[in-house]
């Protein structure tokens, strides 16, 4: 019977020798890689601590005055948008710190200001620049942003586009306040398009999923009108 060639198991010493040989041959390369990773990590930390965070803080300070003017009992939307010598406007925040969270929010507010001022083109432009944010509070802003874009589309009599935005608003946040409101608006936009069945589906969803909402009673009336 022929003797089989069976490989001898590698000893621990041989394995260690191979490891030492690897580092002898590639030690300088490994050092360069390790140092490179440290440098990248330092740059990321330095960028965040020395650039990102200070910019975010300055943007938050700048947007505060514009928000106060926007949220006052007698809001001045033009002043909140453009600012003056006493404080920056939303457009100033967008221009200087548009990449920060406050800069992103300023785009949303700028769109609202333009909408309140009747400038539909710029309202649509700035609302579309807003990037959706994460978290529960963020989801409400996301829903509002999509809903406002739907409102702009309605003003422009582009009802098909309005439906798409309202549907996005519905998906952005699920609650008893905003969701039935945007379902109702979506239904009304569908009615404007002559899509009574789709409109009815929106109203039925309000009655089924959000019966305690303020829109439920009106949805019942609207449903009777399209059936």
Residue 135 corresponds to which tokens in the numbers above?
């978290």
Write out the two tokens for 13: 């010493």
Q: Can you list the positions of beta strands (E) in the chain? A: 83-84, 87-88
Beta bridge mates, 84: 87
Tell me the pLDDT tens digit for each residue of 170-207: 999 999 989 999 999 999 999 999 999 999 999 999 99
Give the chain's mean pLDDT.
80
Angle of the 53-71 helix axis to the 90-97 helix axis, nearest 10: 170
- Give me the CATH topology for the region 132-227: 1.25.40
- Distances in whole angstroms, Cα of residue 210 to Cα of each of 27, 165, 215, 219: 66, 20, 8, 10
Domain ranges of the chain: 60-131, 132-227
Is the pTM here over 0.85, yes or no? no
């Amino acid at each position: 019977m022929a003797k089989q060639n069976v490989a001898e198991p590698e000893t621990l010493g041989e394995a260690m020798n191979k490891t030492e040989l690897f580092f002898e041959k590639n030690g300088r390369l490994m050092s360069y890689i390790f140092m490179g990773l440290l440098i990248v990590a330092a740059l990321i930390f330095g960028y965040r601590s020395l650039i990102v965070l200070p910019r975010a803080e300055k943007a938050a300070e700048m947007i505060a005055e514009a928000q106060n003017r926007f949220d006052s009992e007698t809001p001045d939307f033009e002043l909140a948008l453009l600012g003056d010598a006493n404080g920056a406007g939303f457009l100033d925040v967008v221009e200087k710190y548009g990449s920060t969270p406050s800069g992103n929010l300023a785009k949303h507010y700028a769109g609202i200001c333009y909408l309140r001022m009747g400038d539909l083109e710029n309202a649509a432009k700035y609302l579309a620049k807003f990037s959706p944010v994460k978290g529960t509070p963020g989801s409400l802003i996301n829903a509002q942003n999509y809903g406002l874009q739907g409102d702009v589309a309605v003003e422009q009599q582009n009802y098909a586009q309005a439906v798409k935005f309202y549907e996005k608003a519905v998906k952005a946040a699920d609650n008893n306040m905003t969701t039935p409101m945007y379902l109702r608006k979506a239904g009304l936009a569908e009615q404007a398009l002559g899509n009574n069945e789709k409109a009815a589906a929106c109203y039925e969803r309000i009655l089924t999923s959000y019966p305690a909402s303020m829109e439920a009673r009106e949805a019942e009336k609207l449903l009777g009108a399209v059936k």
